A and B are shown apart, each in its own frame.
Chain A
């Protein structure tokens, strides 16, 4: 039997962590773009849009991410498209992220006083200009801390992609633990690596939050 040193285990886990990071970035960027579209759609006062986006958010927030991953995995295949775990994970996580981000950002936008909208309107700015020059710049400041904080949820969410066979940090962990018969050590390392990814992001989000509140006072 081959002996695995702690370094072997860590090295392989670090290699797999790259995929956790890439998937998180894809979900975060893709989810941000879709979320922004949904937010604009919701703010645009098009009939029924508000309720439609609200229902979208409720579905993604009211069901397990694991089920969303399964549905993406088997659902894309139903259309006759060959799905890889990669595509399914990227699609599901992007949609999941977009639902949360659009809801977070909606809260930020609605915290902008109504007078700001009205003032912009009285300056004869159209809807796009009102958003771009008056509302979004102010909402953006408030939105940064919770958005960064949500990145932690996205990173942790990618761990579920292991279930549909995407080899990232968690999946690599179970594979290595099966090969080495050292589940305690391997899963402890996996947990510590996630912690090393998430904790700095949490700290940044916390300090941003403190800065924002300090400024407001």
Chain B
């Protein structure tokens, strides 16, 4: 059979695609910022060279990290969106999506950041103590910046994985890019074309994001 692709109907629906891209970017930005904060907090709680933490805290964080890293994102999303209302906690699709992305990136980034923190020589932390810096100041000024700098490329890859993972959020009708593609494909009956187009947009987004984030890293992390 001859394959005939017709993109005109799909391209005519460009406002939907644009809205989808905007939502995908917005989800990624909010999810990344909050996810990195959560990941940093978890790395702080688990890093072996930052002093002793109470065992219950370490165990709670370790279980969270391992549980999230060993279950699919789509199940985490469904659990939050469909499961939590049973406990009386009703979330909007958008909020559930952001929450799932934060929870997901928090777990993965905590392991990445922890690897960077644990590469900090003990002497530097002792030196910071001897300069009468508080543990908080030591962490923020001495430990964290070089740790982030070391692991930034791995972090960028993880952020991109989370952005691509956000395609699943369309399944609970968050209006992001893959949701737009689904909508267009059912409006125009041009499923293959709609998904090709969306996939190309995702490819461009991930390449641009990598460039942008590597630039941000070189500009603001290395330059300190």
Contacts and interface: CB of A to CB of B under 8 A. Distances in A.
Q: Report if A and B associate in a common complex.
A: yes
A34 interface: no
A160 B164 CA distance: 13
A80 B3 CA distance: 9
B73 A156 contact: yes
Nearest to A80: B1
Given A66-B167, A79-B1, A182 B72 contact: no
Main SS at interface, chain B: helix
A82 to B, nearest CB: 12
Interface in A152-185: 152, 156-157, 159-160, 162-163, 170, 173-174, 177, 182-185
Nearest to B73: A156
A70 interface: yes
Main SS at interface, chain A: helix
Interface of B: 1, 3, 66-67, 69-76, 78-79, 82-87, 160, 164-168, 171, 178, 181, 191-192, 195-196, 198-199, 202-203, 206-207
Contacts of A163: 74, 168, 171
Contact of A177 (B82, B160, B167, B202): B82
A59 B76 CA distance: 26
Contacts of B206: 62-63
Contacts of A62: 160, 164, 202-203, 206-207
B108 to A, nearest CB: 12
A146 B171 CA distance: 31
Nearest to B178: A66
Interface stretch (A44-52, A106-114, A122-130, A195-203): A195-203
A160 B167 CA distance: 10
Contacts of B75: 159, 170, 173, 187, 190-191, 194
Given A183-B83, A188-B83, A67 B202 contact: yes
Nearest to B80: A187
A64 interface: yes
Contact of A66 (B1, B84, B168): B168
Nearest to B67: A195
A159 B69 CA distance: 14
Contacts of B199: 63-64, 67-68, 71
A103 B73 CA distance: 23
Given A64-B164, A160-B168, A195 B70 contact: yes
A114 B65 CA distance: 39
Given A77-B192, A177-B82, 11 more contacts: A62-B206, A64-B168, A64-B178, A67-B167, A67-B195, A79-B1, A159-B72, A159-B75, A187-B78, A195-B66, A195-B71
Q: Which of B75, B181, B198 has the most CB of A within 10 A?
A: B75
Given A64-B165, A78-B192, A182-B86, A188 B70 contact: no
Q: Which of B3, B160, B166, B199 has the most CB of A within 10 A?
A: B199
B164 A63 contact: yes
A202 B202 contact: no
Contacts of B1: 78-80
A74 interface: yes
Contacts of A194: 70-72, 75
A156 B72 contact: yes
